[in-house]
Amino acid sequence: MSPSPPQSSLRPLDLRGCLRSAARVGVLGAGTGLLIGVVGQLVVARFAASGEASRPSWWERLVGVVVTASLLGALLFLATVVALVLTRRSARRSRRRATMAPVALIATLVVLVHALGVTLHVLLGSHLTSSGLAFFLNSSEHIAGAVSAQYLGYLLPLIGGAALFAAGLSVLVRRVVDGDPARVRSVEVVGCVAMTGVAGLAAAAPAQEPMGAGVARTSPEVALLASVTSSDRGPDPLLAEENPLVREALRSPSRASQRSWEAVTRATAERPNVVIITLESVAISRLGYLDESGRLAGRQASPNIDRIAAKSLRMRRAYTTATHSNYAQMAVISSLFPRRGSTLDMYQRLDYPRVLLHDLGSALGYTTATVSSQDETWQGMKRFQDTGTATYFRHAPDHQGEHLDLVTEDVAPDQATVDHAIGWLKAQRGTPFSLYLNLQSTHFPYPIPDAAPKPFTPYEPKGTFNYVRWEDADKDVILNRYDNALHYVDAQVGRLYDALEASGLLEDTIFVITADHGELFFEHDLVTHGRTLFDGESRVPLLVHYPAALEPRDDFTPVSTLDVLPTVVDLMGAPPHPAFQGESFRDTEASERSGVFLNIQGWKHYEGVVCGRYKLVFDPDSRESELYDLIADPNEERNLAFSRPELAAALRDTLRAQMEAQEAYHANGEAGRRLRDERFAPRMLPCPDAAR
């Protein structure tokens, strides 16, 4: 007879024993999560970035700690239950391995999510969302630079300490598995059940109302879960149309109307050439022609743009559609508002009608081209531009020479890009052309070739200089660095303008200069872009030079970069194109204007609308609004949302209806597809009477 194995190796567990042992593991996990949550809240409270509309209260932070603890405890409880039930008749050593492995993995994942959430909140004041995570992964070098430069000393102990907690948990789990389940107190079982319930409620509530009740604002885990579970299916168009404002926006032209537009336009429109230049991250505060205070006197960072402005229609209150490039640039060349769901759109699904500049030109017999210093594959922009229409296309990866480092990507020097564009223009003989040009050196960290002139010195900051944090003492040096980049880009714009003039083509060319968004230089204690809808980020230069139809003048009407293509079409003498969501600003007094809508879906989520002198910004995370009188308060320092509640409500209703219409039109599902098959994108809503 063979000896029986030791009892300790074969002692089976009944289901009750599995549950009781798992309950103790859950309680241990909750204790670890409690400590992680407290440390995370202390780090955020102490080092959080500026720019948040409001900070969580102490009780919201307490809720965040409880939720983090409950989620970790509940996950470990459930994982341990499954592991122990599956191995309840196995040897003790097998039960240990089967239990310790998922516990260590889950604890590590929760720690990483929490640490990443704390990092984003500290650096950017943003919550951990699927959009933010996607933006992080596509801009990881920027964030990594900021972390390594300033916050590594705080975050490494947080991550290291949490990893130690995870290792300690594994040791404790081993003891639990080896122990007697009967010794588990009933209060632990009850506490584990309650904790699992709290975790379930916390996970489910934000899915119904993303970022609701302050839970997701203080718990990175719930913020991420809420953003993932807030489906991009969008609202049901039939239900959305119950709102009369949404119904009005969705009453857009039919897809069939494009055929009649093309027929009329081919027969009647003129054929001027078209050149649209989009500059990167241009701060309106650094352009000479917009300098009313005289602070740039003698600076001459933009002499060519200034001389072109003197001969152009100058839209003095032009706004971008978004303060991150992947949205803003595509809106310029498509006149489509970049809001298609509740999370970041990386142009994976393109089942909606798009008529870009090269499509417009091709339909009218133009030769078309895109020449860009940028890597247009970033965030899927090249996919958006590929409409099936044949066009000449060249971007940074096609450049064979020196590249400049933007940290997230390598770009072609703007001088080489303009050289190529001029060469392409010279090859066009006898046929009208359209050219889209994208220049990049004014993007952080403002790189220019070594041989380029650098008239403003010194230009090398000595302190912290990354995408999200600068030293205030370096402000003048950084402005010198930026102005050197602007001076370099300005020279390239001037070269292209002069080449058109020398070839005799300028008088018959609609020549447009704009920017994708602005740039902050410590306004509101913030730097660079992509984080707010303040005017420093959202206002852009917008010039249209076309002597055949436009007298040089200033126009202070709020307009959008959505309006660039409609204005080009208007200057051709053609009727408005039914696919465009913008409207012509050739004569802003001739018709009632729609609101100027803005949004961010990157590291931050904001929505905004400009109507006349007012701007409303809505935070869908916190459900809070900010209202500014841009005439009386151009620096946007006094929030009028509480003192002017009726105006704030009217603007918010219009803004939310526009966003709901956008999401309903682009929703997955049969109703959304039918809308896209039958109609073009929603119309932009007019401003409410209260804001006129």
Per-residue buried b or exposed e for 364-386, using 16+ beta carbons within 10 Å of the residue's own CB: bebbbbbbbbbbbebbbbbebbe
Answer yes or no: are the C-beta atoms of 405 and 452 closer than 8 Å: no
Instruction: Answer whether residue 7 shows pLDDT above 50.
Output: no
pLDDT in tens, 222-278: 777 766 655 555 677 777 778 999 999 999 999 999 989 988 888 877 899 999 999
Determine the Cα–Cα distance for residues 168 and 659; give it in Å rounded to an integer: 48
Q: What's the pLDDT band for 112 if we cut at 50, 70, 90?
A: confident
**CATH 3.40.720.10 domain position(s) in the chain:** 266-589
Determine the Cα–Cα distance for residues 435 and 274; give it in Å rounded to an integer: 6
pLDDT in tens, 124-140: 777 777 776 676 666 66
Q: What's the pLDDT band for 632 if we cut at 50, 70, 90?
A: very high
What is the model's pLDDT at position 143?
62
Answer yes or no: are the C-beta atoms of 509 and 540 closer than 8 Å: no
Determine the Cα–Cα distance for residues 576 and 112; give it in Å rounded to an integer: 51
Instruction: Answer whether residue 558 shows pLDDT above 60.
Output: yes
Instruction: Answer whether residue 499 shows pLDDT above 70.
Output: yes
Peptide bond connecting 445 to the previous residue in cis, omega within 30 degrees of 0: yes
What is the model's pLDDT at position 636?
97
Residue recorded with tokens 């009608």: 353
- Pairing of β 392-394 and β 367-372: parallel
Answer yes or no: are the C-beta atoms of 421 and 371 closer than 8 Å: yes
What is the model's pLDDT at position 93?
81
Answer yes or no: are the C-beta atoms of 661 and 641 closer than 8 Å: no
Q: If we measure between CA atoms, which residue out of 325, 314, 318, 290 comes closest to residue 539? A: 318
Q: Give CATH for domain 266-589.
A: 3.40.720.10
What is the model's pLDDT at position 142?
59
What is the model's pLDDT at position 218?
76
What is the model's pLDDT at position 208?
46
Least confident range of 39-48, 327-336, 560-569: 39-48
At 122, list the tokens.
């500290």
Question: In angstroms, how far apart are the furthest CA atoms of the chain?
Answer: 108
Instruction: Read off φ and ψ for residue 367, nearest 5 degrees.
Output: -90, 130
pLDDT in tens, 435-491: 999 999 999 999 999 999 999 999 999 998 988 889 999 999 999 999 999 999 999
What is the model's pLDDT at position 202?
67
At 133, list the tokens.
């995570």
> Residues 6 or more apart from 356 whose CB is under 8 A from it?
333, 334, 385, 387, 389
Instruction: Answer whether residue 49 shows pLDDT above 70.
Output: no
How far CA 392 is from CA of 358, 397, 436, in Å, comes to 9, 15, 10
How far CA 258 is from CA of 2, 123, 249, 261, 674, in Å, comes to 88, 46, 19, 5, 17
Residue recorded with tokens 């700690």: 65
Q: If we measure between CA atoms, which residue out of 505, 574, 587 comes closest to residue 361? A: 574
What is the model's pLDDT at position 677?
96
Work out the average pLDDT over 46-61: 66
Instruction: Answer whether residue 306 shows pLDDT above 70.
Output: yes
pLDDT in tens, 164-222: 777 777 787 888 877 878 788 888 888 888 878 777 776 665 544 544 445 666 778 77
**Residue 646 CB neighbours (<10 A):** 9
Query: How many angstroms separate the first and last alpha carbons of the chain?
Result: 97
Looking at the chain, how many residues does it have? 692
Identify the H or E element spanning 514: strand 509-515
pLDDT in tens, 386-444: 999 999 999 999 999 999 988 878 899 999 999 999 999 999 988 899 999 999 999 99
pLDDT in tens, 235-244: 777 777 789 9
Peptide bond connecting 458 to the previous residue in cis, omega within 30 degrees of 0: yes
pLDDT in tens, 500-512: 999 999 999 999 9
Four-residue CA torsion sign, 410, 415, 416, 419: positive
Q: How far is CA 85 from the centre of its chain?
A: 45
What is the model's pLDDT at position 660?
94
Work out the average pLDDT over 273-293: 94
At 10, list the tokens.
């074969």
* Identity of residue 315: M
Work out the average pLDDT over 613-631: 92
Top pLDDT among 554 and 93 is at 554
Per-residue buried b or exposed e for 208-233, using 16+ beta carbons within 10 Å of the residue's own CB: eebbbebbbbbbbbbbbbbbeebebe
